[in-house]
Amino acid sequence: MQFKELGIIEPIVKALDQQHYQHPTPIQEQAIPAGIQGRDVLGLAQTGTGKTAAFAVPTLQNLSQGRRTAHPRVIRSLILTPTRELAIQIEDSFEAYGCYLPLKSTVIFGGVGQSSQVKALKAGVDILIATPGRLKDLISQGYISLSQIEIFILDEADRMLDMGFIHDVRQIIKMLPQRKQTMLFSATMPKEIVQIVNQLLVDPVQVKVPPVSSTVGTVQQSVYFVDRSHKTDLLSDLLKQEDYESVLVFTRTKHGADKVVRELVKRRITAQAIHGNKSQNARQGALENFKTKATRVNRYCFPGY
């Protein structure tokens, strides 16, 4: 099956083709037609299944074919997501899939100054991608109104719960109009999420895809027994011997991540650290360098990140 068989309008099909997307994933195949029809959708799917396009495509299509508002634009769709990095990725997807549509999107998240985000909001936005904390801050300051929301997407709902955002999510839901289309995506369904589903969704189409293959099935694994003092030497030798384009390395502490980066740089291996002590701009820059392969190794502090 191809995307054009799902009832998607030509401008979006053209944009998807430019992204080299021709065949929908199982969740896209099931969720996109229901979303285009204006149905509420409950998607049970993990990250990596293509769920961003599953809600982005219907949102873009329905907004482009719906009523147009006078200038300035008002926020007509809200995508709520748990992390800054995921919010940025979702914004990139909306920009890519909607590049031939007269719709404007922006992303807001904490950890950085709000001035540029406020400026974008004042210029008018159709689609807002947000993390809960910054969204609540800007609502309380009067920069955001949710009164005109037509489509609401709650992404990775179970991670919202795990990260302690569920109270914020409930408060935001209370600010939304009663009449709207809602799409909720979650890998698991703990009781707190079931309660939100029952409160929020009306006669939803349930879309469920099997979990992606486990790490054991998709990743070749090796174990090296080495004493602590020689770990960095072994890592350096492996990087020099093997033709790895991009490498992720996880450490136990933030200090350990910085130390390994310093040692790798001494050995002329480009590397950057990402952890909670880094500013949001520094973390974003490191991720962008890793994505473009300007940096070969990204070093994560696993528990603190």
Section 52-79 average pLDDT? 88
**Does position 177 have pLDDT exceeding 90, yes or no?**
yes
Token pair for residue 31?
A: 């969720």
Domains in the chain, start-ordered, CATH in brackets?
3-208 (3.40.50.300), 222-301 (3.40.50.300)
Per-residue tokens: 156: 């990775």
Average pLDDT, the chain: 88
Residues 99/60, Cβ–Cβ less than 8 Å: no
pLDDT of residue 115: 95
User: Using one digit for the tens of pLDDT, what is the confidence trace for 196-216?
Assistant: 999 999 999 999 987 655 555
Q: Calculate the alpha carbon distances from 25 to 2, 11, 35, 209, 274 in Å.
A: 10, 20, 15, 10, 31
Q: Are 138 and 144 in contact (CB under 8 A)?
A: yes
Sign, CA torsion 304/159/44/10: negative
Coil, helix or strand at residue 18: helix
Give kind and range of the element (H or E) at residue 223.
Answer: none
Give the residue-averaged pLDDT of 142-149: 96
pLDDT of residue 295: 79
Tens of pLDDT, residues 104-133: 999 999 988 999 999 999 999 999 999 999
Q: In this predicted structure, what is the pLDDT of residue 1?
A: 83
268: left (phi over 0), alpha (psi -120 to 50) or beta: left
pLDDT of 39 > 60? The answer is yes
Q: What b/e string do you get for 203-236 counting C-beta neighbours within 10 Å, with b at 16 or more?
A: ebbebebeeeeeeeeeeeeeeeeeeeeeebeebb
H-assigned helices in the chain? 10-18, 26-36, 51-65, 84-97, 115-123, 132-140, 157-162, 166-174, 191-200, 215-218, 231-241, 254-266, 280-291
pLDDT band at 75 (very low <50, low <70, confident <90, very high): very high
16 — pLDDT class (breaks 50, 70, 90): very high
Asked if the model's pLDDT at residue 195 lies above 90, the reply is yes
pLDDT in tens, 263-305: 888 888 888 988 877 776 777 777 777 777 777 777 566 443 3
